[in-house]
Structure 1
Amino acid sequence: MRQLPPLAAVRAFEAAARHRNYTRAGEELGLTQAGVSYQIKSFEQRVGTVLFVREGRAMALTPAGEALAQRVSQAFATMESAFAALAQTEDQVLSIACFQTFATKILAPRLGSFQLAHPEIAVRLVVSDAFVDLEAGECDLAIRLSRDAPTGLQVHRLNKLGIAPFASPAFVEANGELQAGDPPIAEDHRISPNNAWWREWDDARCASRDGNDGQRQPRGLEFDSQQLDAAAAISGNGIAILAPTLFLSEVTDGRLVRVGTRVVRPGGYFRLLYPEVRRHSPKVRAFRHWLERELEPCLAADPGCLEGMERA
């Protein structure tokens, strides 16, 4: 175990040795002259020798004080350098954890503009549907889709989840019943029919799943991401249940069309999360503001996403 004097006393000694004046040392440290004097006396008692002597109105270091002041000053300079290096490293790299579809559809096509605006920050994108431990420092921040906000983290809602069925124009044209205002969607037309969002969709429409009693497993193409569901739908393999916010480009260029007019909001938000200790981090603040600006076109295209939004 290290046997060191109290840091407050060491700081008082280092400042007084630099200034040769207790008053100016106190101004630097936010202490009174008496407070600095008390810390110096305690420090001298701790090290067992006199470190300062008075010369008129000034304070002079004793030979022991001179020798110690040089070493202490070097130690403080080393600590300053270490903290500066840490701050520089921390500010230079931004690590983002994000689930696959958001990373592919929102971040990857746009991160170039963030790099242009902030060339001093390198971005590392960790794409995974598994939760990373932000408080343990595995990443600086994360983007997650969830019903409930996690505790112990700074949380910013990006937009509210909406879901709707989408298919290729050719698939809709080939199945005339899908052109009605709010058509039922047969189970054998559904891509990833076990996706919980399909149940949310049926519940919102007060519809059953073609007599499925919960025992029979629906058949059909089954994928583990919206990105793959959308690709299958674009290829004409059926109807995918998707978050419209993430597929604006496919809808805009006509590769996907919404089946019906309804958008269901099952409860859930895309959220930006980061630990409390990074609340004032310049790189985190810069990314947050940039992402909110980038999402504005998505929100404008789907105004319902603004319902219940909180902007911190």
Structure 2
Amino acid sequence: MPNPLPPLSAVRAFEAASRHLSFTKAGDELGMTQAAVSYQIKLLEERLGFQLFTRKARKIELTDHGAQLATRVVDAFSALRSAFEDISDMNAGQLVVSSNTTFAVNWLANRLFQFQMENPDVGVRILPYGPCAEPDFNDSDIVISACKAPPKGWIAHEIVQADFTPMLSPALAETIGGVKKPEDILKLPLVDPQDPWWQMWFEKAGLADVDLSGHPASRMGSQALEANRAIAGHGVAILTPYFCKTAIEAGQLIRPFELTCRADDESWYLSYPPALRTSRKVRLFRDWVNAELKCDGMPAHGIMAVVA
């Protein structure tokens, strides 16, 4: 069955010309020459088998068939414009952020109100992802991923480096008279003893090849969950100090040693696709996060463009 729809380029030219009653003005609107618009109208007339315009010396007029068609075509294009405007306005006013649980709970939850006060026209929707889930790189405007590089081609900002050190509740430390030496940690239950950060920290503390097999296995997979267990006194957790500032200041957690290790290839990244590089809502959120980090005294790590 033949397609009843003429070429869209010809329909667009007719719609613009019928509103302006001028091939020249229609061409200006569409970025075409007057001759190109006239050619498209001619193709459409040949396709339909009747004239759409009467050409006069200095103007054009719609024929009866042309006027009948123009009414419906102009309405159709108006509906299309409204649909695109509505979805654009909706998209511009909502920012979807897929965030690692730790960053969402220990950082965003305490600060997001301030961003929304500063930018009331941008509604933020947070999609936290848990230990066994993947960041939503497909349907999010911004992704904050932990120790997982963004997709190739994305624009990424390294916002927090993965530093770590043991932390525990003061009450748990007192059960053995205080944690004074790295060896003392081994007298207490550990949160996620299979976490490779433990071996890295003990080795740097001078305790190479520490055997943690005697500790009950667990894998929380999220610093937010691990910190909660440590605050409850259920064990010593290996955590990033920056994300535990509130708990430390409140006396819920202590870090018995200044020794802090760094996983060179692990960081928290704020990233977004290249198509959103100039997006206002993305720029506002990115700059706000960087400003908050700067206020906290965090070093600026710059931008990493992930190449294909």
TM over 0.5: yes
Corresponding residue number in structure 2 for 1:297: 295
Classify 1:242/1:148 alpha carbon distance in 2 versus 1 (closer, same or farther; 3 Å).
same
> How many Å apart are 1:77 and its aligned residue?
0.5
Out of 263, 272, 279, the residue aligned to residue 260 of structure 2 is 263
> Retained in 2: the 8 A contact 1:194–1:218?
no
TM-score relative to the length of structure 1 = 0.83
- SS at 2:146's partner residue? strand
The one-character-per-residue Cα deviations of 1:15-54 (angstroms, maximum 9, x if unpaired) are 1122222222211111122222222222222222221222
Distance 1:132 1:147, change over 3 A: closer
How does 1:272-291 map onto structure 2 within 5 Å? 272-291=270-289
Amino acid aligned to 1:268: E
Residue 167 of structure 1 contacts residue 239 of structure 1 at CA under 8 Å; is this kept in 2?
Answer: yes
Asked if structure 1 preserves the Cα contact closer than 8 Å seen for 2:203 and 2:209, the reply is no
Q: Could you tell me which runs of 5 or more consecutive residues in structure 2 were left unpaired when the two chains were aligned.
A: none
Shift of 1:297: 3.2
Rounded to whole Å, the distance in 2 between the matches of 1:57 and 1:196 is: 81
Cα pair 1:172 1:179 within 8 Å, conserved: no
**1:260-296 deviation digits (Å, cap 9, x = unpaired):** 2222111212112334444443333322222222222
Amino acid at match of 1:288: R
Contact 1:91–1:121, Cα closer than 8 Å, also in 2: yes
**Cα distance change, pair 3–244 in 1 and its aligned pair in 2 (3 A):** farther
CA distance in structure 2 between the partners assigned to 1:2 and 1:244 by the alignment: 65
Question: Does the aligned pair in 1 maintain the 2:94–2:124 contact within 8 Å?
Answer: yes
Deviates further, 195-204 or 79-88: 195-204
Counterpart check, 1:134 vs 2:151: no
Shift of 1:173: 6.1
1:96 counterpart SS class: strand
Offset from partner CA, 1:237-270 (integer Å, 9 cap, x none)? 4421101121112223333232322221112121
Secondary structure of the equivalent of 1:293? helix
Distance 1:32 1:177, change over 3 A: same
Query: Structure 1: how far apart are the matches of 2:220 and 2:240?
Result: 15
Alignment match of 1:234 (pick from 221, 231, 240): 231
Shift of 1:171: 4.7
Residues of 2 paired with 1:160 and 1:24: CA distance?
57
1:120-269 pair list within 5 angstroms: 120-129=121-130, 130-135=133-138, 137=139, 139-169=140-170, 171-172=172-173, 178-179=179-180, 183-184=182-183, 186-189=185-188, 190-205=190-205, 207-211=207-211, 216=213, 218-219=215-216, 223-266=220-263, 267-269=265-267
Measure the CA separation in 1 of the matches of 2:102 and 2:240. Answer: 10
- Structure 1 spans left out of the alignment, 5+ residues: none
CA contact (8 A) 2:205 2:259 kept: no
The structural deviation recorded for 1:224 is 4.1
Instruction: Tell me what 2:303 maps to.
Output: 310
| Aligned equivalents of 1:153, 1:3: Cα separation in 2 | 42
Q: Is the 8 A contact 1:52 1:61 kept in 2?
A: yes
Q: 1:8/1:185 Cα in 2 relative to 1: closer, same or farther (>3 Å)? A: farther
Q: 1:263 to 1:283 in 2, by over 3 A?
A: same
- Structure 2 Cα separation of the partners of residues 80 and 73 of structure 1: 10
SS at match of 1:25: helix
Amino acid at match of 2:157: H
1:2 & 1:196 partners in 2: Cα distance? Answer: 63
Conserved? CA contact 1:21–1:58, under 8 Å: yes
Higher alpha-carbon deviation: 74-83 or 279-288: 279-288
Alignment-derived partner of residue 114 in structure 1 = 115
| Offset from partner CA, 1:175-211 (integer Å, 9 cap, x none) | 578445xx34643433221223213323545643434
Instruction: Output the CA distance in 2 between the equivalents of 1:50 and 1:56.
Output: 17
Query: What letter is aligned with 1:231?
Result: N
When residues 49 and 207 of structure 1 are mapped into structure 2, their CA distance, relative to the original with a 3 A threshold, is farther
Identity of aligned residues (%): 37
User: In the alignment, which residue of structure 2 is the partner of 1:102?
Assistant: 103
Deviations 1:124-182 (A, max 9, x none): 222222114432x2x333211125332253433222221111223455566578445xx
Tell me the equivalent position of 2:43.
Answer: 42
Structure 1 residues 297 and 173, CA, compared in 2 at 3 Å: closer, same or farther?
A: farther
Q: How many residues align?
A: 300
